[in-house]
C-alpha cells in the first residue's frame, strides 16, 4: 500500500529564515511525486512534479528535490506570503489514464514578518 | 478562465438528508475526481472518472455515489448523510496521464448534524 508521511506537521519561521519540509514515501513504483500549496479556504494549487531520484525543480523561493525514499521542499529566505499548507502526493499507477494520488497530511507553514 | 467550479461552497445537513455536490470544469479535461479533506488525514479519493462515461471507486467510496453527466460535469451525491461525512470536499480535474497536474475547485464545506 502506498504511503506518504510529511514532517513536521507545522512549522513557524521568521521572515528570511530558510528551512526544509520533508515528505517520506513508500510506493510500489513511482510515476510521479507532486507538491501542492494550499491556502486557507481554497483548493490545492500545483507546484512541482518530480519523476526520478536526483531530480530538482525550482520556483521562486522554493526548490523541490527527490531521493528514492523522500522528497524535500526547501524554502529560501521565505516571505509572509509563503505561509500556506504544503501537500505532498505520490502517483504509483494510472487507471485507464486517471491518476490515483496518495496525499500526505500536509505541513502548515507560517512565516512571521 | 473559471477552471473548476464547485457548488455549493457551504452546506449544513441533518443526519439522513440527501444532497448533490456539483462540479464543472471548462478546460476540456478527460479525468475528474472527488476528494475529501479531514484534519490530520490529508486528501482522500472518494470516486474518480477517467473519462466521460466511466466512474470508479477510490479509497473511501462508502456512502457516496457519482455521476459523470458529460465531459464537463461530475457530481457527488450523498443519499443519506451521516455525521462522519462532515468534511471539506474538493473536485479536481486533469487531462490524464502520468505526472499531469490536478486542477482543484475551491471546495465545499459540509456539516452533517
Residue-wise pLDDT for B57-111, tens only, equals 999 999 999 999 899 999 999 999 999 999 999 999 998 776 788 999 999 999 9
pLDDT, mean over chain B: 94
Contacts of residue B18, Cβ cutoff 8 Å, sequence gap at least 6: B77, B78, B79, B80, B81
Which residues in chain B touch residue A30, judged by CB atoms under 8 angstroms apart? none
- A34 has pLDDT over 90: yes
Structural contact between residues B43 and B37, judged by C-beta atoms closer than 8 angstroms: yes
Q: What does the pLDDT read at residue A106?
A: 97
The shortest C-alpha distance from B77 to chain A (Å) reads 20
- A104 has pLDDT over 80: yes
- For residue B2, what pLDDT band results from cuts at 50, 70 and 90? confident
CB-CB under 8 Å, A51 with B31: no
Triad B58, B43, A39: Cα angle to 5°: 145
Q: What does the pLDDT read at residue B67?
A: 97
Amino acid at each position: 500500500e502506498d504511503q506518504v508521511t510529511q514532517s513536521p506537521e507545522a512549522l513557524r519561521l521568521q521572515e528570511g529564515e530558510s528551512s526544509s519540509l520533508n515528505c517520506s514515501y513508500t510506493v510500489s513504483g513511482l510515476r510521479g511525486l507532486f507538491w501542492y500549496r494550499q491556502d486557507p479556504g481554497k483548493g490545492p494549487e500545483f507546484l512541482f512534479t518530480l519523476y526520478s531520484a536526483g531530480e530538482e525543480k525550482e520556483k521562486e523561493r522554493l526548490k523541490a528535490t527527490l531521493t528514492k525514499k523522500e522528497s524535500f521542499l526547501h524554502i529560501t529566505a521565505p516571505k509572509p506570503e509563503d505561509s500556506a499548507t504544503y501537500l505532498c502526493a505520490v502517483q504509483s499507477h494510472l487507471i485507464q489514464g486517471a491518476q490515483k494520488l496518495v496525499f500526505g497530511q500536509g505541513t502548515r507553514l507560517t512565516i512571521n514578518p | 478562465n473559471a477552471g473548476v467550479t464547485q457548488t455549493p461552497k457551504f452546506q449544513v445537513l441533518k443526519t439522513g438528508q440527501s444532497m448533490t455536490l456539483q462540479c464543472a470544469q471548462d478546460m476540456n479535461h478527460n479525468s475528474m475526481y472527488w476528494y475529501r479533506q479531514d484534519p490530520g488525514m490529508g486528501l482522500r479519493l472518494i470516486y474518480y472518472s477517467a473519462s466521460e462515461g466511466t466512474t470508479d471507486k477510490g479509497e473511501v467510496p462508502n456512502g457516496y455515489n457519482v455521476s459523470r453527466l458529460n465531459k464537463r460535469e461530475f457530481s457527488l451525491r450523498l443519499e443519506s448523510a451521516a455525521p462522519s461525512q462532515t468534511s471539506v470536499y474538493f473536485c479536481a480535474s486533469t487531462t490524464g496521464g502520468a505526472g499531469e497536474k490536478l486542477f482543484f475547485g475551491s471546495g465545499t464545506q459540509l456539516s452533517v448534524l
